[in-house]
Copies of this chain bind each other. A is one copy, B any other.
Amino acid sequence: MGGDIGLPVTIPASVEFARRFPDARLLLVGLPDAIEKALAGSRDVPRDRLEIVAASEVVTMDDSVEVALRRKKDSSMRIAAQAVKDGRADACVSAGNTGAWMAISRYVLKTLDGIDRPAIATSIPNQKGKSTTVLDLGANVDCTAEHLLQFAIMGAALAQALDHCERPSVGLLNIGEEVIKGNEVVKEAAELLRASRLNFYGNVEGNDIFKGTVDVVVCDGFVGNAVLKSIEGLARMLSSIIREEFKRNPITLLAGAIASPVLNRLRKRVDNRRHNGAALLGLRGVVIKSHGSADSYAFGFALQRAREAVASKLLERTNLSMAQIRQQGIPTNTHTNDAAISLPRAAGDSA
């Protein structure tokens, strides 16, 4: 039901996805009449693999987390997450309100062992023609060093699962040559990462996201969100400037027409729709967030990411990596030393 456009985007993308992957079965969660109507407009619908699951409420883009979580208990988001919880679905995807989607999926699914807080991760295309996984993008502000370590574990598992990096390199986003190199949290996180069995590269800077210096860039959610929104803003400005300049007058229009094969290739290379589908990591289920403004082409990629994450066992990889790092004796949990939850340590057990 979600996203800026809703069913006219999600339904055609789902139909196309089902046609493309004959082993896929989709639960379309939402207002049944609206979904039926949207399906009626599509041709060649493999109805045997598209099941409508009724939800009586819809979380809007403006709903607060409070409203979404406490007052709309029969929302499509809630029912979708519950389907994963109950094992009826392997993954769930929404293009709706990010905060609500995070809160609901966390509430319903809970976090994996050793994960304090889920994180949001996305893939950003880099100069090497591959992509860089960046997290957290806004779920967590005020992170501890242990949180950053958890992000690294989750992000590396995601890069393994989706980008087929066998041993993804991990960089810690830090500031450059300026006066003070990073704050205390980042310095501490670097020590944890260095001690861990992850393939830790060291500190990286913002431009390394695009250089492709590492496979995974870890930062707190405040920084990650600011970076993501800024690069989206720059990309939008540049593409509108390019359009403006080619539309300036008949001569520039002609130049644009002549250059159009090049411009089309360019557009394809930087088309961020192919990277649509942020992962909400650290939950006991595969949860994907599509960009709210995604069209059906882009939404299809979010569905594919969900499918790939399941097929390549994202959760198992995350669990395995977490267990191995704990076995190294590295504190992965912020509250490890809280009296209330600390347990007597056994050999090889640090958390």
A residues engaging B (CB < 8 A)? 61, 65, 97-99, 102-103, 120, 126-127, 137-142, 173, 175-180, 182-184, 205-211, 219, 221-223, 225-238, 240-242, 245-246, 248, 251-252, 255-256, 258-259, 261-262, 265-266, 269-270
Contacts and interface: CB of A to CB of B under 8 A. Distances in A.
Contacts of A229: 176, 205-207
B236 A207 contact: yes
Given A205-B226, A231-B230, A231-B234, A262 B269 contact: no
Contacts of A175: 138, 141, 221-222, 225-226
B221 A233 contact: no
A249 to B, nearest CB: 10
Contacts of A242: 266
Contact of A139 (B178, B226, B237, B256): B178
Pick the 8 closest A-B CB pairs, nearest first: A206-B229, A207-B233, A206-B230, A138-B178, A210-B233, A175-B225, A259-B259, A255-B259
Nearest to A138: B178
SS class of chain A's interface: helix, strand, loop or mixed?
helix
Contacts of A259: 246, 255-256, 258-259
B177 A99 contact: yes
How many copies of this protein are present in the complex?
Answer: 2
19 contacts: A102-B179, A126-B237, A139-B179, A140-B179, A142-B184, A183-B222, A206-B231, A207-B229, A207-B230, A210-B234, A226-B226, A227-B230, A230-B230, A230-B231, A235-B238, A241-B266, A248-B262, A248-B265, A259-B259
A189 to B, nearest CB: 13
Contact of A207 (B221, B232, B269): B232
A233 B256 contact: no
A210 B237 contact: yes
Nearest to A210: B233
Given A207-B230, A256-B259, 4 more contacts: A206-B232, A207-B236, A234-B234, A255-B258
